[in-house]
Amino acid sequence: MVQGNQIDLGGSRGRFRMMMSRRGVMGAAIASAVVGLSQMSSAKVAEAADGGPMILGGNTTINNTTSITKTGGATTTAFSVTNNNANAIDALSSTNYGVNAGGVNGIIGATLSPGGVGVWGTNLNQTTGQGVLGTCPSTIGVWGSSGTTIGVQGSSGGSHGVFGSASAAGSSGVSGNCTSSAGSGVTGSSGPGIGVSASSTSNAGIFATSGSSTAIIGRSTTGKGAEFFGDVEITGNFTASGMKSAAVKVGDGSTRRMYCLESPVSFFEDMGSGQVTNGHGGVTLDPMFLSVVSTEDYQVYLTPEGDCRGLFVESKSAGGFAVAELMGGNSSVKFSWRVVAKRTGIPNERFAPVSMSLDPASFPKPQVQKEVEIPPVPAPPKTNLVPR
């Protein structure tokens, strides 16, 4: 018991009093505080009053959840950790999430170091799992944006740098969009390999559409603009500024060009053979051929295959033509014929004007991906393999 400057000590042998100076009182108080701190350091739980200090610096083993809840005050951070020399927080779980965060923004990571990483995720298992996983049940799982450079960058030493997959109808494994008229929705580039590779096991490998311009543009400064292996179908007009030819293997084993005939209008032609008996004969044209050509006016070319005075077209009808020998002859010979008629079902204007981008520079020039110096992947942060 303390009375004034005196401490009353009790014992089995009685009571005695001892006068103490002010320095003695302060020494006793310090000694008492040291005893209290030593008892606090050995405790499993450290508590601090609201606004009071919390001292951390040792390992703590717990069985229950430690929770920090900020219920009042301004909208400021509830818990902040800063380390200017190493990792601010190491979080590791051997069976579940290293960090599980909720709220408006689950996790925000930032760094002031020029070569640092705002958020780093790594999987120490190295066989299964993900280094970083972003999920959302109804909107974007992972979002990356940048004002001046790459929004999201992926790289891999042995597999895909970026891999996207989708299972819903109408969705895309990877989708790209660009709002600039000089940009590209998706850009792929490669020095020695393929810039963009697309494949499908049961549908189109590449499907491109455009509302007002060209769906697909292929251009090469020294090689071929496009190359197809397999059948090619075109629904619409086919126009070429150069020659149209077939590649045919000739007798010496080499492959040579055989050129297409061109005309001011689109013609279909048919050919065959007939017989003149006693100076007269006729040819009935194929109904299928007649269904795709105009029979109002068509040309017939005859070639006798025997000695005669010559042959001429005696009359023409919508179904065929009659042949007779010149000068009233009555020969009986075979002949070959060729019919040329205008194609129907199209405008078929004679010498129709056409506008073509003969200058490759007139095509919209896709923006090739800028050469970006990819920074080296920094060393992973030091993480204890055994949970604390």
> Which SS3 state, helix, strand or coil, does residue 268 take?
strand
Against a cut of 0.75, is the pTM above it? Answer: no
pLDDT in tens, 274-292: 999 999 999 999 999 999 9
Domain covering 267-342 assigned CATH 3.40.50 in the classification: no
> 8-12, 122-126, 284-288, 293-297 — which is least confidently predicted?
8-12
pLDDT tens per residue across span 228-254: 999 999 999 899 888 999 999 999 999
**Which segments of the chain belong to CATH 2.60.40?**
267-342
Q: Return the pLDDT at 47.
A: 53
pLDDT exceeds 80 at position 322: yes
CA–CA distance from 265 to each of 35, 161, 261 (Å)?
A: 110, 53, 11
Q: Give me the sign of the Cα torsion angle 219, 225, 228, 233.
A: positive
What dihedral do alpha carbons 315, 317, 319, 322 form, nearest 10°?
0
Q: Which of 86-90, 245-249, 362-366 has the lowest mean pLDDT?
A: 362-366
Answer whether residue 164 shows pLDDT above 90.
no
DSSP 168-216: STT--SS-----STTS-SS----SSS-S-----SSS-S-----SSS-S-
DSSP secondary structure letters along 274-326: EEEBTTEEEEEPPHHHHTTB--SS-EEEEEESSSSS-EEEEEE-SSEEEEEEG
Least confident of 56-60, 142-146, 226-230, 373-377: 373-377
